[in-house]
């Protein structure tokens, strides 16, 4: 898999978060490798945390489900951490 294709996953999470938030300019996704997994750290404005997490964590769970599907397709493990 090329580096461009791997970067698309980070971009996907970033674009999804921007759609969900009121302050899309403050959405930031950092990517790094930890023990063979790709960890994506999502940071949003404090006011947008509820929108990204969702009622009962449903939105965050949905974002993680998308990453699980991508993980299976790319044979890599992606993990999403939402930073406060």
Per-10-residue mean pLDDT for the chain, 84 residues long? 61 96 97 94 97 97 96 93 93
* Structure-block tokens of residue 4: 């461009």
Strand ranges, E, within the chain: 28-34, 37-43, 78-83
Burial 63-78 (b: 16+ CB within 10 A, else e): bbeebeebbeeeebeb
- Supply the CATH number for residue 34's domain: 3.30.300.20
User: In terms of Cα–Cα distance, which of 78, 23, 11, 10 is closest to 52?
Assistant: 23
Count of domains in the chain? Answer: 1
Give the Cα separation of 35 and 47 in Å (integer).
32
The parent domain of residue 20 ranges over: 3-83
pLDDT at 7: 52
Query: Which pTM value belongs to this model?
Result: 0.86
């Amino acid at each position: 898999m090329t580096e461009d294709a791997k970067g698309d996953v980070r971009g996907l999470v970033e674009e999804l978060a921007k759609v969900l938030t009121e302050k899309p300019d403050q959405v930031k996704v950092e990517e790094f490798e930890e023990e063979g997994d790709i960890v994506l750290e999502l940071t949003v404005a404090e006011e947008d945390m509820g929108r990204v997490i969702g009622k009962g964590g449903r939105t965050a769970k949905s974002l993680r489900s998308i990453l699980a599907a991508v993980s299976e397709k790319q044979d890599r493990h992606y993990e999403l951490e939402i930073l406060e």
